[in-house]
A and B are shown apart, each in its own frame.
Chain A
């Protein structure tokens, strides 16, 4: 259920940034969500609908850019996709791997309307 807290954080940051430009309307919000970020995409989408209500982003189009997780093996240095947390290196079977991407939880950009 942490997706709603996350959605509310997003709206708070968007409002803060838009105000810096004296904008009263945000027309688009681009989010980057890693597939291993710990956020459920559907729960976040649902939560965002609630969180933007009556906010500066009430009419904003929401873009979700999902980033596929990629890891590197610390033993053989091969890179490979991570579909889940339990993957071992497909080249040498090592469990000693590090994520390169896939943990993103980011507001990439916003489109604001100004006079």
Chain B
């Protein structure tokens, strides 16, 4: 069963570099006769969870046992996320998980950053989209190594997808890894990818009530980029109201207003990355 919408189809997650057809598939397997595929590691040696059992072994007859698990439902994702995080730390890689709704300008911000900083930025990019290589091609053209994850029906990236993609990227020490999540302000907030920091991006054309409508994403982010400031004269967008609302959800959130089109504010964004 598809892990997103429950349709009968398998997930079809692909990992591709521009110019390649398919790098590899995700892992499919069978449970009780029905084949389905989902993006989770099935190796059992890396389960570091603990659980208590309050049933007794004295009873040998058919019985109901209550087993206390106290186990986080997202624990599998979190274990892989921590492995990713450990890898990033060991390699001194700053991994940034970029989340936003579709069309906020995530790819444009990356394009401009890569073009302006060039070699100095020393970055690689994982692109997440349901379909197409479009974003990966834009990033490659800008001059950074990139791999595209197409989630098929999936509405978010998870830690295993990032784990597989980063292995194919051949990451360098002391570099930056941008992970451009699937455009969606809801689901990606729940899935830790092992990132160093989470960056939420909104654009002034989206309206200033985004933090009020999608609080979890702002709650879990470290930095909020407010893009398309060049369009401010043409839209009703109250910068202070956005900040005020977002700070109620997350008092530690930082803000940088910028325009990937004109370059305004981009230096603040570079400075922020540099101090990580």
Contact = CB atoms under 8 A, between A and B. Distances in A.
B71 A107 contact: yes
Contact of A50 (B6, B33, B65): B6
A91 to B, nearest CB: 16
B33 A54 contact: yes
Contacts of B31: 15, 55
Given A2-B155, A109-B69, A86 B5 contact: no
B64 A27 contact: yes
Interface of B is mostly: mixed
B64 A106 contact: no
B29 to A, nearest CB: 11
Interface size class of B (residues with CB under 8 A): 35 or more
A87 B249 CA distance: 8
B62 A115 contact: yes
A9 B76 contact: yes
Interface in B1-35: 1, 3-6, 31-34
B168 interface: no
Given A38-B190, A95-B251, A114-B65, 15 more contacts: A1-B5, A2-B155, A2-B186, A5-B158, A13-B71, A13-B73, A56-B32, A86-B215, A105-B74, A107-B71, A108-B68, A108-B69, A108-B70, A109-B68, A115-B62
